[in-house]
Amino acid sequence: EYVILNGEILPRQDARIDVEDRGYQFGDGVYEVIRIYNGKMFTVTEHLERLEASAEKIGMKLAWTITELEVLFARLIEINSLETGIVYMQVTRGISPRSHAYPPAGTAQTLVAYTRNMPRPELNFSDGVKTILTEDIRWLRCDIKSLNLLGNIMAKQKAAEAGCYEAILHRGEKVTEGSSSNIFIIKDGSMYTHPANNFILNGITRQTIEKLCAAHGIPFIEKEFSVAELEDADEVIVGSTTSEVTPVVEIEGKPVGDGKPGHVTRQLQKLFDGEIERQCGK
């Protein structure tokens, strides 16, 4: 099993990071998760561009170009013989004596990446998942894919303790997103999701779903919706890199629609499969 540390590919046990890495001390960095199907990265450019954008939003200019990263990750996937899974990567502001303000210019960023075998969650696709609702207590820059995930992990833990797959977050009355996903509702044949502003991460899956809807005549409306509208939806979807298009069949113990994955969800799942095949082969 190999990993990437800075520009190099090396055995996992040889990768060492200093105790004063700012990622470790402050969560001062950004990350991405890219899906691998058939040994190929799905929506790789979108993910790497978002990594660069997240870095810029926290005042970091990535020390690696998108092309360099893509080449590195492709080599890692190959050397680890990964077929179906993910590549995780994070870049931190580097190693420096602990002090809140940014370290001196020229401090080397730390890049870490590894792969993980991960089958597609087929049972969730067919049967759907249960969810809970919880207040969104995160900060006001959820558009940044930052390493700081306390608000997200506390919400996910609450879902796990309730035997649920995901926590749906709301700021007061308005649904924002999932703890590690975007949330979509379908009402009378139209799809609704929170606008891509500072309150949510603009998911790459969300963007793929938007393109598929546009290409296949499903109205895709970026508009805030309330908890009441969520509970009244015909269909609800959790969308993310690892979850793809996962139907939600229960919210806080109450069924969504008739309690089974709906037909727009089914249609989207097929379209999503088609897009995977188009990019990564069968």
Q: Which residues bind ligand PLP (CB under 6 A)?
A: 33, 152, 177, 180-182, 201, 203-206, 240-241
- Please name which of 249, 256, 260 lies closest in space to residue 230, comparing C-alpha atoms: 256
| Cβ-based nearer residue to ligand PLP, 95 or 169 | 169
* Tokens matching residue 211: 């393109």
How near is the Cβ of 150 to ligand PLP at its closest, in Å?
A: 12
Candidate list 40, 57, 61, 145, residue with the active-site label: 145
Beta bridge mates, 238: 183, 246
How near is the Cβ of 181 to ligand PLP at its closest, in Å?
A: 5
How near is the Cβ of 47 to ligand PLP at its closest, in Å?
A: 7
Instruction: Output phi, psi for 150, to 5 deg.
Output: -55, -45
Query: Does residue 224 contact residue 195 with C-beta atoms inside 8 Å?
Result: yes
Strands 174-178 and 129-135: unpaired
| Cβ-based nearer residue to ligand PLP, 10 or 153 | 153
| Cβ-based nearer residue to ligand PLP, 85 or 94 | 85
Burial (Cβ within 10 Å: 0-12, 13-18, ≥19) of residue 99: exposed
How near is the Cβ of 177 to ligand PLP at its closest, in Å?
A: 5
Catalytic (active site) residue 270: no
* Tokens matching residue 95: 């190693």
For the annotated catalytic residues, the residue numbers are 145
